[in-house]
Amino acid sequence: MNLHIIPRLIYLVRHGQSIYNVENRVGGNSDLSERGYAYLPKLRDYFNEEKEQGIVNEKTIVLTSTLKRALLTAEAVELGAKVFSLKVLDELDAGICDSLKYEEIAEKHPEEWKARMSDKLKYRFPMGESYIDLINRVEPIIFAIERSKEHVIVVNKINISCFKLNR
């Protein structure tokens, strides 16, 4: 591996709540909800404080998916840094179930629902992907982040709020 010992921070930032989050839908490319838009100034303030303290700057690498909710959230960071929107960071491809509510998947595709509930890690959505596929897809980006000599902010659907890793 091309790892190094140069200290840097890796921020993992969850995108603002989306309309599909509120509606309990899978995937899609929906806009932010009212609550999601309310999150943006708070995120901007957080990174402005980090910038004032000299922690992050225009050299900081900002990575996000190509999805609207993540792009809008990444734009709120406002460091003057270039935002890299990468398809490889898009969320799990739910295939034929994309944009459906979880209840609709159970109703319209009961066998798929049952298969998914029995093994979510290996289950692959028809015409979509599994979490194993997703892991394999994002692995090269993880290695690239590890090789980075600059601080990195990753804006995506992460089941955490905002935290930073000292690396």
Residue 1 is assigned to a structural domain of this protein: no
Residue 2 is assigned to a structural domain of this protein: no
Residue 3 is assigned to a structural domain of this protein: no
The first and second tokens of residue 158, run together, are 């992460």
CATH number for the domain harbouring residue 109? 3.40.50.1240
Residue 157 is assigned to a structural domain of this protein: yes
Residue matched to tokens 């000299």:
54
pLDDT per residue as tens digits for the range 4-62: 778 889 999 999 999 999 999 999 999 999 999 999 999 999 999 999 999 999 999 99
On whether the pTM is more than 0.85, the answer is yes
Quickly list DSSP for 94-153.
-GGGTT-BHHHHHHH-HHHHHHHHH-TTT---TTS--HHHHHHHHHHHHHHHHH-SS-EE
User: How many domains would you assign to the chain?
Assistant: 1
